[in-house]
């Protein structure tokens, strides 16, 4: 029974629970048992409370028994990134400075998951404060890729991607600031979406870079991702950047899975030197597949994309240096050296020195420097000008095509430790994903095969204009369906952790 439930997609599991063929408690028990079985090797979760999870599941079963109308994911378990506040479990952002912190309120995304009847299994590991591309920057140990436990699961949402890829959860939440959903989805063989900025609430999301952070879904197929996207998105008056507009029809688009007549642009700047040959091979095959399905494919040049990485690593650290100033040892969290002999400034300095990890310190220093007197215009101001040029490149491209496509990330999952001492090499993992964050547009990564060199997953990135998220799901579902028809099953069936 347990393994049968785990094999189901989230949509299938939700439907089975709705029909009374299984209960939310049955589903939660199956996944909790799976976590106990494999997470010692993967380290996807930072916090799991079996009894609290089963209590959530019983409450869903009781709501259904009472005749309450519930959504399509009611009773389905979900892994929740440890950057969203949860009043009933710790929220640490994988940082020592917040170890054991129990928030006094739920994030909007958390509250909407509960309202939809999803059962939160626990909080997942991540790069500290979402700063990283490998989940090696967590204060609580690295997370491992279920395809090869000697390799990274991507980051910063690597715990969420690993949990879904290891069949420890059918769904997971993540956040995407520069690619932190799409890149881990790609290297773990999953679907991951970055919704339009402002269409999913940041209220209760521990901020990294406020003009970039975007909550989004992880799933094992496109329809499941669309269902989760729809469940927690929508206007939130508590988020000043929230868009007051309807959620795009992503579920209908995922079910449509048709690209006939669509105009698809291949981004010229995202190919060539520095890209793994097998990644480019699978990407080119995907483009040819889309053409065979009736899409019109053209090459598109977006020259400002070449400067996106540099602009991002000025804008995001600048915002981080401001956002992380709140962790000052005075109000909550870690406090070091408060023995009655030191000033508040000394305690603050000691706490931040011990509480923040190396990557977080690196970005705070970089951001503070970029914002400092005499350098603001040269660095931060110039980066914002580049951001404007990137938006214009997207606007020009979308005047002629419906979506843009590229590889999601230049390589497959790299070995743990390989880039730890080389920040620039690490940052290049987000080369293809960053422009969408700077522009605020929608994007999705869908698996498009395994690289022939190493047998590891490759992701196809699909980008669309703001509030046209449904286009990414439509194209992603078409690619998914065509590849399944050709291979006879889902990509994850080839993973060592497949059930």
Residue 1, pLDDT above cutoff 60: no
The answer to whether the beta carbons of residues 437 and 178 sit under 8 Å apart is: yes
Catalytic residue among 9, 81, 286, 321: 81
Mean pLDDT, the chain, integer: 97
296 is catalytic: no
The answer to whether the beta carbons of residues 96 and 139 sit under 8 Å apart is: yes
Catalytic residue among 133, 138, 156, 286: 156
DSSP structural state of residue 294: T
Interval 372-425: pLDDT, tens: 988 999 999 999 999 999 999 999 999 999 999 999 999 999 999 999 999 989
Interval 101-151: pLDDT, tens: 999 999 999 999 999 999 999 999 999 999 999 999 999 999 999 999 999
DSSP structural state of residue 379: I
DSSP structural state of residue 380: I
Separation of alpha carbons 91 and 103, rounded Å: 7
- Which whole-number Å values give the CA distances from 193 to 9, 132, 251, in the listed order? 17, 18, 13
Interval 250-308: pLDDT, tens: 999 999 999 999 999 999 999 888 999 999 999 999 999 999 999 999 999 999 999 99
Phi, psi (degrees; rounded to nearest 5) at 471: -65, -40
The answer to whether the beta carbons of residues 475 and 299 sit under 8 Å apart is: no
| Cross-strand partners of 108 | none
The answer to whether the beta carbons of residues 192 and 171 sit under 8 Å apart is: no
Q: How confident is the model at residue 430 (pLDDT cuts 50, 70, 90)?
A: very high
- The CATH classification number of 2-302+392-494 equals 3.90.1300.10
Domain boundaries, the chain: 2-302+392-494
Q: Please state, as a whole number, how many other Cβ atoms lie within 10 Å of the Cβ of residue 309.
A: 17
Separation of alpha carbons 158 and 141, rounded Å: 12
161 is catalytic: no
Residue 60, pLDDT above cutoff 90: yes
pLDDT, position 272? 81
User: What are the residue ranges of helices labelled H in 73-168?
Assistant: 108-115, 158-165
81 is catalytic: yes
Q: How confident is the model at residue 152 (pLDDT cuts 50, 70, 90)?
A: very high
Separation of alpha carbons 254 and 207, rounded Å: 30
Separation of alpha carbons 104 and 100, rounded Å: 13
When pLDDT is averaged across residues 153-172 and rounded to a whole number, the result is: 98
When pLDDT is averaged across residues 190-204 and rounded to a whole number, the result is: 98
In sequence order, the 6+-apart residues with CB closer than 8 A to the CB of 294 are 258, 259, 260, 261, 262
Q: Is the dihedral of CA 339, 345, 346, 349 positive or negative?
A: positive
Catalytic residue among 95, 180, 201, 406: 180
Phi, psi (degrees; rounded to nearest 5) at 405: -130, 155
Separation of alpha carbons 22 and 343, rounded Å: 59
């Amino acid at each position: 029974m347990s393994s049968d439930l785990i094999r189901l997609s989230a949509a299938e599991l939700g439907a089975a629970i709705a029909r009374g063929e299984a209960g939310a408690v049955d589903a939660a028990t199956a996944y909790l048992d799976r976590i106990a079985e494999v997470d010692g090797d993967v380290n996807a979760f930072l916090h799991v409370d079996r009894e609290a999870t089963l209590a959530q599941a019983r409450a869903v079963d009781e709501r259904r028994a009472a005749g309450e109308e519930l959504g399509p994911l009611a009773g389905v378990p979900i892994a929740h990134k440890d950057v969203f506040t949860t009043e009933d479990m710790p929220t640490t952002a994988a940082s020592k400075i917040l170890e054991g912190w129990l928030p006094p309120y739920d994030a909007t995304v958390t509250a909407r998951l509960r309202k939809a009847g999803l059962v939160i299994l626990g909080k997942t590991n991540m790069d500290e404060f979402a700063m990283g591309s490998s989940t090696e920057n967590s204060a609580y140990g690295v997370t491992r890729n279920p395809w090869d436990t000697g390799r990274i699961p991507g980051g910063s949402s690597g715990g969420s991607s690993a949990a879904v890829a290891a069949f420890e959860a059918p769904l997971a939440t993540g956040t995407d600031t520069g690619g932190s959903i799409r890149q881990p989805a790609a290297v773990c063989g999953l679907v991951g979406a970055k919704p339009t900025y402002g269409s999913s609430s940041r209220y209760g999301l521990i901020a990294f870079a406020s003009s970039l952070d975007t909550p989004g879904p992880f799933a094992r197929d496109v329809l499941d991702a669309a269902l989760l996207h729809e469940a927690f998105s929508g206007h939130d008056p508590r988020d000043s950047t929230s868009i007051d507009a309807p959620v795009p029809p992503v579920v209908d688009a995922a079910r449509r899975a048709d690209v006939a007549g669509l105009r698809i642009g291949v981004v010229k700047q995202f190919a060539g030197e520095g890209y793994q040959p097998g990644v480019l091979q699978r990407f080119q095959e995907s483009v040819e597949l889309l053409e065979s399905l009736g899409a019109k494919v053209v090459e598109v040049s977006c020259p400002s994309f070449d400067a996106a990485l540099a602009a991002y690593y000025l804008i995001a650290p600048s915002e981080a240096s401001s956002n992380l100033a709140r962790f000052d040892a005075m109000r909550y969290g870690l406090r070091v050296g408060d023995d009655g002999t030191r000033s508040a400034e000394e305690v603050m300095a000691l706490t931040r020195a011990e509480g923040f990890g190396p990557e977080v310190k690196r970005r705070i220093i970089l951001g503070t420097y970029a914002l400092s007197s005499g350098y603001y215009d040269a660095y931060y101001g110039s980066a914002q000008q580049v951001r404007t040029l990137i938006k214009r490149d997207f606007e020009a491209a979308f005047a002629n095509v419906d979506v843009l496509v590229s590889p999601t990330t230049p390589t497959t999952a790299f070995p743990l430790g390989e880039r730890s001492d080389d920040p620039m090499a690490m940052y290049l993992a987000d080369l293809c994903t960053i422009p969408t964050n700077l522009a605020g547009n929608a994007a999705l990564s869908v698996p498009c095969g395994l690289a022939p060199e190493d047998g590891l997953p490759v992701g196809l990135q699909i980008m669309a204009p703001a509030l046209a998220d449904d286009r990414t799901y439509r194209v992603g579902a078409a690619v998914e369906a065509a590849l399944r028809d050709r291979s006879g099953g889902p990509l994850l069936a080839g993973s060592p952790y497949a059930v």
